[in-house]
Structure 1
Amino acid sequence: MHKPPTAKIRPNLVAEKPSFGKINLIVFMMGALGNIILVFVPLFLAEMGLTGLEIGILIGTGLITRLFASIPIGVISDRFSTKAAFYAAIAFIIIFLVGLNFTTNFFFLLVLFILLGLGKETINSFLDIFTLKAQGEKAGKTFGKFQLSRYLGSGTGALLSGIAIAFLAFALTFNIVAVLVLLLLVPIYLLKDVPKEKINLFQYGKDFLKVKNVLFAGMLFLFTFHWGAEHTTYGLFLKNYLDLDTAWSGLYISITLIFLALAAFLGGRLIDKGIEHKKLFIVGVLFSGIGHIMMVNENVFVSLFWRILHEAGDGLFFITQFVWISLLFEKERIGGNYGIMFTIMTLGAFTGAIAFGPLGEATNYTAPFIVSGAILIAEALILGIYIFGKGLKKKPA
């Protein structure tokens, strides 16, 4: 059995016990917000009369804003205090949510999505980086609880917002969510920063250009390509292909996300017990791809079953990529390096959003899931042949 990867993780940079209770509360709320935006904002935009291409451009704009912001935010987290950035991010998200009620102008919508991208990226990246820096010996357990909080929040957000939109309409629901986002100021105010380091910026480039890190970045890009399909077509697939209203869509999504959260949590425990994170990563990508293809089924219950498999695969991906990043980079530079990796992931999602927006509209929102699922399966098979084949070569004849 492999020695647990967490045994190699470097000592904690935080002098006092980290505030993981507050962190996980904020993560829960941001997870809920993220799924409201993922599923119901495209429905709102379609209701405005926007085309699939226009929706893809708006979603892609939010993603590409995150792309350009990821590395600076990561470097800031290594070198400066994060409180002011948190407060600005909260303001940006509230402006986005409230602003949707006051404009149908495409240019102003672009501005709102830029603010959304900046706000979400700032908060989510700082939370991720704080957790990567502050975890101790049992990284799998820490990361597992973190991802459990995030995706239970996602499921809760999908369920409650779906019901709210069914009874209150989009505009009032978005305003209520804006008030809830404002309440995040309390736990954010109570957070303590991790220690800062003086770092040579060129060192980030040296870290990234190591062959193993470039290959890892390529794997992340291929995986996150399917995020573009989800960002542009998931809610529309549930409405147009499965004929679900917003309340039933919320229930469908929330059920599946419970399994994502549990898979991430259990995956962390397995890693702490010695299961190699690379092998769990492959299993996660494979499950994700198979589920993405097979969920395209007109029977809601069959579709739900395969979506559960997809989300379980995503859960394994999220926990293993966290552990993998924590092992690849020195903690004092993990903020900037995580920013680089997240930039790669966001680029994958952006590319997918631009590709799958028009494709979804032309195929009743089914083809994006099939195409992106096939890419995931191919990635898992190639990576599996490489890693498992490498392991077999090491065994004595």
Structure 2
Amino acid sequence: MILKDQDTAGSFSSGGYLNRQILLSVAIRFLLYFVHWMVLAYLPVVLKGYGVSDLQVGSVIGFFALSSMALMLPLGLFSDFFSPKRTMMSGALLYGIYFAALLKVRTFGLLLPVLFLGGVGSAALIVVSESLYLKHFGNIERGRRVAFYQLSTYLGFGLGPLVGGLVVEQRPSLLFGLALLGTLLIFGLAFFLDDYEPIVFSFKKYGEDVAGFKPLLLIACVFVLGTHFGVEQTSFSLLLQEKLGFAPRMIGLVFAGLGLWMALTVPFIGRLHDKRQSVFLFFLVGLGVSGFFQVMTAWAFDFWSLLIIRLLHTLGDAVALLELGVLVALLFPAQRLGGNSGLVYGVRTLATFMAAVFAGVLNGQWGYGASFVGSGLFVMLFVAVSIIFIVLSRDRMGAVGWNRS
């Protein structure tokens, strides 16, 4: 079925069919992040076991992000004027081929084209699944609905590495086989999603969407947010293993605890947003908290100190990510959310790539904690400069909803 925006404007209680579509979207998102993080959390560890150097690990993870970034905008645009549902299903097939190839590939040279393929499939799934959800369900109760959607993301983020840690301890290659099965399930569930009516393509309209203070501020925030993800994807599991001596099972417990924590907190953050709606203020505060405890991660010395620091860090992440989803739905027209979401994710993934490569260099020279310190300081500096820049202008304060008393 192909739906238009007005067909899905009801609330959660508007009917069983609408609720089933929401739950189907949420299930797909959970599986996507479960599979994604089950592999990505341990890919650096597995690659180190193959004899790949720290710099090469950073380059491989960064190349995955770069390949995703290169096609996020084109795939988002394509889904707007073709079919979001079919784009998602094609992405699931490519992602499955990527995991199948990882069952055999062991050398750095062959890993690069395989990671490129995985990046393309990941881009199609991540960008288009979220934009399709927001097209259908993001026009009212934004905080609540985005929070509900992100809850599934955090559960996948937490449970994927937990399962991955158990698998890696027994048989690392089985990790990729389970991921392959997960992508096939995503493909099957996506078949039952409602599609969205295509639009007539216009570069001019997309340009008008992003030409303004608020969209440009959002893009800058997203870039900075992406840099700390690049550091985490390259360094976090290695920090746990090499500095703190955690076994894969313990690494999985850390990820699980963080994911479940974020899943528990995001509904409350969503309700707070719907009451307050100071979106950019919450975004910047979330970034600041995240950056501070990113720095503190370098000084964790055991399981409990690390867990407390990362719980506080991910609380900031949860706030920032919720406001990101709300802002995308709020600032961009529903019919062009695919292309605009692709731009936002592309910027974030470019930052992830750059930070992942930089973290690989820092890790080899100064240890795994150095990249966390550099990442957190950069985020906090950006937050301070952004707040000063906004409050120096009455017009800019009014644009983001900050009113002088």
TM-score (norm 1): 0.92
Q: Name the CA distance, whole Å, in 2 between partners of 1:284 and 1:256.
A: 16
Matched ranges for 1:42-53 at <5 A = 42-53=44-55
Matched ranges for 1:1-397 at <5 A = 12=6, 14=8, 17=18, 19-135=21-137, 136-167=139-170, 169-296=171-298, 297-387=300-390, 394-395=403-404
Q: Name the CA distance, whole Å, in 2 between partners of 1:11 and 1:110.
A: 40
8 A Cα contact 2:35 2:182, kept in partner: no
AA aligned opposite 1:271: H
Q: Name the CA distance, whole Å, in 2 between partners of 1:332 and 1:381.
A: 35
What's the offset of the Cα at 1:321?
Answer: 0.8
Partner of 1:5: none
Q: Name the CA distance, whole Å, in 1 between partners of 2:277 and 2:202.
A: 35
8 A Cα contact 1:55 1:357, kept in partner: yes
8 A Cα contact 1:257 1:308, kept in partner: no
Q: Name the CA distance, whole Å, in 1 between partners of 2:343 and 2:73.
A: 5
AA aligned opposite 1:131: Y
Structure 1 spans left out of the alignment, 5+ residues = 1-9
Is the deviation greater in 200-209 or in 277-286?
200-209
What's the offset of the Cα at 1:84?
Answer: 3.4
AA aligned opposite 1:88: S
What's the offset of the Cα at 1:22?
Answer: 0.6
Q: Name the CA distance, whole Å, in 2 between partners of 1:213 and 1:141.
A: 22
Is the deviation greater in 33-42 or in 249-258?
33-42
AA aligned opposite 1:238: L
Structure 2 spans left out of the alignment, 5+ residues = 10-16
Q: Name the CA distance, whole Å, in 2 between partners of 1:357 and 1:256.
A: 24
Partner of 1:3: none
Which runs of structure 1 show a deviation greater than 6 angstroms over 4 or more consecutive aligned residues?
A: none
Is the deviation greater in 336-345 or in 199-208?
199-208
8 A Cα contact 2:297 2:369, kept in partner: no
What's the offset of the Cα at 1:387?
Answer: 4.5
Q: Name the CA distance, whole Å, in 1 between partners of 2:126 and 2:259.
A: 18
What's the offset of the Cα at 1:207?
Answer: 2.2
SS in 1 for 2:78: helix
Partner of 1:7: none
Is the deviation greater in 152-161 or in 290-299?
290-299
> Identity of paired residues, percent?
26
SS in 1 for 2:195: coil
SS in 1 for 2:231: helix
Q: 1:33 to 1:73 in 2, by over 3 A?
A: same
What's the offset of the Cα at 1:208?
Answer: 2.0
Q: 1:357 to 1:66 in 2, by over 3 A?
A: same
AA aligned opposite 1:372: S
8 A Cα contact 1:13 1:331, kept in partner: no
8 A Cα contact 2:58 2:357, kept in partner: yes
SS in 1 for 2:227: helix
SS in 1 for 2:173: helix
Q: 1:382 to 1:264 in 2, by over 3 A?
A: farther
User: For 1:146-168, what per-residue CA distance to the aligned partner results, in whole angstroms no more than 9, with x for missing partners?
Assistant: 0001111111111111112112x
Q: Name the CA distance, whole Å, in 1 between partners of 2:149 and 2:403.
A: 35
8 A Cα contact 2:38 2:175, kept in partner: no
User: Aligned-pair RMSD on alpha carbons?
Assistant: 2.1
